[in-house]
Structure 1
Amino acid sequence: MTRFVVTGTDTGIGKTIFAAALAGATGAPYWKPVQSGLEDETDSETVARLLPVQSMGEAQRARSACGTASEASGGGATTSPQSPSVSPAPAAQFTLSACKAGEEGCHLPTASPQGGSILPEAYRLNTPASPHIAAEIDGVTIDVAALAPPPGDLIVEGAGGALVPVTRTTLYADLFARWQIPVIICARTALGTINHSLMTIEALRARGVPIHGLAFLGDAVEDSEAIISQLSGVRRLGRLPILDALTPDNLAAAFNANFNVADFN
């Protein structure tokens, strides 16, 4: 089974790109539980754009076909049936999505050996910020108990680093501990990565989170990558280099050249 959580040592390090490559290589569905920020391309839309057999337009059509739009204008923050106990915000800010696999009239993309599918986010928040504050600004209550990953093959992407708060009382690392799904830590190769990576590993281990391995992103820095693995005992899965052109074909080729797909099955 291919079932992993993808987290990072920081925000903006490329974990969404890695998650897209992993979903494309394994065919496992991709799920972003909480999306903060809807103005630019969302992480799910980025993954959809980079999957070999999935387009961003298909992901958008799946979401719009399965959502129940708010009758009031200006709707934006959303939640799906994976979070049924959400306290509704004012109607102008809140939309309830009724999308779930197998539901009549709801056509989610299906996984294939050449690429994965995109599952709808549990929460879609307007504000580009840490989920805990984005939800408060949008007037949405995140029900942590409802953030339960669906069964089967799955690539789950967190937000920012492992210690980003989902609510004012729960960190992503706490969710990972509850889920007990092996975690892949994405780490940049730039200066500072040794400290950031080792702190992330210690934080996850302190909570009993299973760690599958390290995926580095960026230019090769052999000593940094080696010392992190040596000191922590966490294996290196590979390194995804910076690509001149980020296309589905280039990303798939780079992943296959630098990672062993068998390590993720």
Structure 2
Amino acid sequence: MTGQPIIFITGTGTDVGKTFVAKLLVYGWKCNYWKPIQTGIESDCGDTFTMINYPIGKWVTEAFQPTYQLIKPLSPLEAMEYEQESVDIKLEDFKVPHGSEQLPLIIEGAGGVCVPITKKLELTTDLITHLATSTQRPFYVVVVADSGLGTLNHTLLTWDYLERNIPKKNLLGCILNGKKNGRNRKILEQFGVTIVAEIPVCKNDEMSLDVTNNLPSLESVTNIHRS
């Protein structure tokens, strides 16, 4: 594997802060950004718009347009049913964007690891495998999880599913989002979950910028993983 790494961001569920954490990584690690499937555009400008128009600090990211943008805020499989024109998402439709090679690339998935995205009932993990095997760049998966009560079950289930469905070399670790919880971190680590970082609650842009400046470097995280 050669070239700048690709980091696929997924989550343990809804509202765990996946997009927010992806944004912190984009600006903290100075990455390009791509969300292959965007749903819910009837009521939301979309994560790509947010990533470009609400930066953290002075650095400017390049955000590549989604391959699919769907109206309803549903899983891609369900959202396809509400499009005015027939839509049939296929894994082969997705290619790592040309022009993203010069910097690391953050890819943000739609929902969690078992969200259905095609009419063949292929899941997010199938998209991960497709993208990982279609590029020569190092490819990693990061799970975003809430740091608080209930995260143990959700995170361990997600981690176990990923370990059974993608190569271990691609599974980088987990980022805990929210108020620091040393007990939850310790238990997750006892079960073999790698904690990449803990993201505190950020109430304003100044706090977000401080977090990006204090993230572990992408190089250090991937080096530890390779070792």
The answer, yes or no, to whether TM exceeds 0.5 is: yes
Alignment equivalent of 1:17, drawn from 8, 17, 20: 20
8 Å CA contact retained: 1:25, 1:261: no
Matched position secondary structure for 1:205: helix
Describe the shift of the 1:263–1:7 C-alpha distance in structure 2 as closer, same or farther (beyond 3 A): farther
The reply on whether 1:254 has 2:211 as its aligned counterpart is yes
Alignment partner, residue 191 of structure 1: 149
Mapping of 1:58-69 within 5 angstroms? none
Matched position secondary structure for 1:160: strand
Describe the shift of the 1:255–1:213 C-alpha distance in structure 2 as closer, same or farther (beyond 3 A): same
TM-score by length of 2: 0.82
Q: CA deviation at 1:135?
A: 1.2
Alignment partner, residue 171 of structure 2: 211
- Which is worse superposed, 3-12 or 250-259? 250-259
Q: Hey, what's the Cα distance between the residues in 2 that align with 1:50 and 1:13?
A: 20
8 Å CA contact retained: 1:26, 1:115: no
8 Å CA contact retained: 1:12, 1:160: no
The reply on whether 1:182 has 2:182 as its aligned counterpart is no
The reply on whether 1:45 has 2:49 as its aligned counterpart is yes
Question: Which of structures 1 and 2 has the bigger CA Rg?
Answer: 1
Q: CA deviation at 1:177?
A: 2.0
* Structure 1 runs, 4 residues or longer, greater than 3 Å off: 258-265
Q: Percent identity?
A: 29
Alignment partner, residue 124 of structure 2: 172
8 Å CA contact retained: 1:2, 1:28: no
The reply on whether 1:238 has 2:197 as its aligned counterpart is yes
Q: CA deviation at 1:20?
A: 0.8
8 Å CA contact retained: 1:23, 1:51: no
Q: For structure 2, list consecutive stretches of 5 or more residues without a partner in the other structure.
A: 133-138, 223-227
Q: Hey, what's the Cα distance between the residues in 2 that align with 1:144 and 1:116?
A: 26
Letter in 2 for 1:238: A
Describe the shift of the 1:264–1:120 C-alpha distance in structure 2 as closer, same or farther (beyond 3 A): farther
Letter in 1 for 2:9: V
Q: CA deviation at 1:263?
A: 3.3
